[in-house]
């Protein structure tokens, strides 16, 4: 596929979710955030990811409204923060998110972390109540280890659609990928460009030079080869476009093997309230 022929339909979907999205973490300037979302959508992206903790839901909603793209064509996700995970907090904060985003429904709602006020017996039924009311189409989790998901699946009546975790060539998450495949749960990768470190990984540079593309495109294409959805953050039009063009890149078996063989583990995001298994 040539870059010129890329369309929104060019991006594969995982159970209806576009496998390339625009991430908005640390996109805190309201005007810049709204403009980057608008630019991404008009470039061809159809998946937008935000969170209550990012403080930019209103700007994200503004970008969606400003784009020459129908709301019905946008897969929109946000996350409930760890201090609002009691039953009423989940419901009230999600209603606030909908208002800030300027939408009637969310395509995907995540529990941001299994931490602080997270109580499976309270948090998860609250998410299901939002789904029952038609405010949320799918329920998801983020930064969950398999034992967290096992526990959640015992409580929930319906399925967990996705688990959003840090994943990239320096944190390949092989065990979690295997677990997700067996449990029929999609994986969504945040920090897929290693927070800019993709340009410092020799294996990615070698593959990039072979194909005449950027290291960022190689990392995103590798994730897609693994069946993982990526939501790279980008603010400039150039970076938004470069990431988008990863959808035209097909890695061969040798490329994938080269990246698979990277013998390094470098987690970029490890807050003090993260799962104990990360220590």
- Write the pLDDT tens digit of every residue in 74-126: 999 999 999 999 999 999 999 999 999 999 999 999 999 999 999 999 999 99
Phi/psi for 139 (5° steps) reads -110, 140
Domain 16-195+223-247 -> CATH class: alpha beta
Residues annotated as part of the active site: 54
Phi/psi for 52 (5° steps) reads -60, -40
Phi/psi for 220 (5° steps) reads -65, -40
Among 171, 106, 161, CA closest to 137: 106
Between helix 120-132 and helix 87-101 the angle, nearest 10°, is: 40
For 196, residues 6+ apart whose C-beta sits below 8 A from its C-beta are: none
Question: Would you give the DSSP letter of residue 200?
Answer: G
β-pairing, 229-230 with 139-142?
Answer: unpaired
The pTM of this model reads 0.97
- Give the model confidence (pLDDT) of 231-273 as tens digits: 999 999 999 999 999 999 999 999 999 999 999 899 999 998 8
Q: DSSP letter string over 35-102?
A: HHHHHHHHHT--EEE--GGGT-HHHHHHHHHHSSS-GGG-EEEEEE-TTS-SHHHHHHHHHHHHHHHT
Lowest-pLDDT range of 17-21, 25-29, 52-56, 274-278 = 274-278
* Contact (CB, 8 A) for 77 and 48: yes
- The domain spans of the chain are 16-195+223-247
């Amino acid at each position: 596929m040539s870059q010129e022929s890329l369309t929104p339909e060019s991006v594969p979907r995982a159970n209806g979710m576009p496998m390339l999205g625009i991430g908005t973490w640390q996109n805190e300037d309201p005007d810049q955030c709204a403009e980057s979302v608008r630019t991404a959508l008009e470039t061809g992206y159809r998946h937008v990811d935000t969170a209550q903790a990012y403080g930019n839901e209103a700007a994200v909603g503004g970008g969606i409204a400003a784009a020459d793209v129908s709301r019905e064509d946008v897969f929109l996700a946000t996350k409930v923060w760890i201090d609002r995970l009691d039953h009423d907090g989940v419901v009230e904060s999600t209603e606030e998110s909908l208002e800030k985003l300027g939408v009637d429904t969310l395509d995907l709602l995540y529990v941001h972390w299994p931490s602080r006020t997270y109580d499976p017996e309270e948090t998860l039924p609250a998410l299901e109540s939002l789904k029952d009311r038609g405010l949320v189409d799918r329920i998801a989790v983020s930064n969950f280890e398999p034992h967290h998901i096992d526990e959640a699946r015992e409580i929930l009546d319906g399925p967990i659609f996705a688990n959003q975790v840090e994943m990239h060539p320096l944190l390949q998450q092989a065990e979690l990928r295997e677990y997700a495949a067996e449990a029929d749960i999609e994986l969504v990768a945040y920090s897929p460009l290693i927070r800019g470190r993709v340009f410092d990984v020799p294996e990615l540079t070698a593959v990039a030079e072979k194909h005449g593309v950027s290291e960022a495109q190689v990392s995103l294409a590798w994730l897609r080869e693994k069946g993982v959805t990526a939501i790279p953050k980008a603010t400039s039009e150039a970076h938004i476009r470069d990431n988008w063009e990863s959808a035209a890149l097909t890695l061969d078996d040798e490329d994938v093997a080269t990246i698979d063989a990277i013998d390094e583990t470098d987690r970029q995001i490890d807050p003090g309230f993260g799962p104990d298994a990360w220590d």
